[in-house]
Amino acid sequence: MDMETAAPGDAKPRKSLLMRAGIGLFALGMVAVFVVFIMFASGLENLPVWLSVAAGVVTPLGLLLGLIALVREARGKS
C-alpha cells in the first residue's frame, strides 16, 4: 500500500475569487435574514428597506455566484 505525501512546496488549491465573493455575499445575506427575523419577533413592523433588500437579494445572489463558481471549476477540471 503506497502512502502519498505532499511535497513541502505544494499548497492547497485556493478558492476562486468568484467563490469567495459568493460565500461572503451569502453569509452577509444570512446575517440580514437573521436580523430581520429578530427585529420582526421583537415587535417591529416597519423594517428598513435596505435590510429587507439585503435579506432578499444578497443571499440568493451569493448562492448564485457560488454555484457559477462550482460549475466553472468542474468544467475546468474535465
Residues 6+ apart with CB under 8 A from 73: 16, 19
In a domain, 38, yes or no: yes
Q: What is the span of the domain harbouring residue 55? A: 32-77
Q: Is residue 4 predicted with pLDDT exceeding 90? A: no
Residue 66 lies in a domain: yes
Flag whether 16 is in a domain: no
Position with higher pLDDT, 5 vs 72: 72
Asked, for residue 55, whether it belongs to a domain, the answer is: yes
- How many distinct structural domains can be found in the chain? 1
1 grid coordinates: 500500500
Q: What is the per-residue pLDDT for 34?
A: 95
Say if 17 falls within a structural domain: no
Q: What is the pLDDT of residues 23-67, one digit of tens each?
A: 999 999 999 999 999 999 999 888 889 998 889 999 999 999 999
**Residue 57 covered by a domain:** yes
Q: 11 lies in a domain?
A: no
Measured CA to CA, the distance from residue 73 to residue 16 in angstroms comes to: 9
Q: Which of 6-10, 42-46, 61-65, 71-75 has the lowest mean pLDDT?
A: 6-10
Residue 64 is predicted with a pLDDT of 96
Distance, in Å, from the CA atom of 76 to the CA atom of 64, rounded to the nearest integer, reads: 18
Please state at what angle helix 17-41 crosses helix 59-77, rounded to 10 degrees: 160
The pLDDT of residue 47 is 87
Closest to 65 (Cα-Cα) out of 24, 8, 7: 24
